[in-house]
Amino acid sequence: MKEFTYKICDELGIHARPAGLLVKEASDFESEIMIYKGEKSADLKRLFALMGLSVKKDDTIRVTISGSDEDAALTAIEGFFKNNL
């Protein structure tokens, strides 16, 4: 299992446009990808679950990735956060 944390810098947090792109990015991988905000968690491949976390600017999230392609998924998802959020 791979894991990283990230502090959201985007003024709007994880809103509809980047959330859709993030779900699309996560869906390219076989690994299970979960996002955590405090005690809440969501499958990163499910848009409504992700939006339900209501991630805002300055929130710190944690992402866990486990599966056969977790190394590639970690690189892609972590890169997405750094470049877009």
Q: Which helix (H) or strand (E) holds 61?
A: strand 60-66
pLDDT attached to residue 47: 94
Q: Return the SS3 of 84.
A: helix
The predicted-structure confidence for 22-57, as pLDDT tens digits, reads as follows 999 999 999 999 999 999 999 999 999 999 999 999
pLDDT attached to residue 71: 94
Q: Return the SS3 of 68.
A: coil
Outline where 36-69 has alpha helix (H): 47-52
The predicted-structure confidence for 56-76, as pLDDT tens digits, reads as follows 999 999 999 999 999 999 999
pLDDT attached to residue 25: 94
Q: How far is CA 77 from the centre of its chain?
A: 7
Q: Which of 2, 15, 56, 62 is catalytic?
A: 15
Return the CATH number of the domain spanning residue range 2-84.
3.30.1340.10
Q: Has 15 been annotated as catalytic?
A: yes
- Residue 8, Ramachandran bin (φ over 0: left; ψ between -120 and 50: alpha; else beta): beta
pLDDT attached to residue 57: 93
- Say what the pTM is: 0.87
Sequence spans of domains, the chain: 2-84
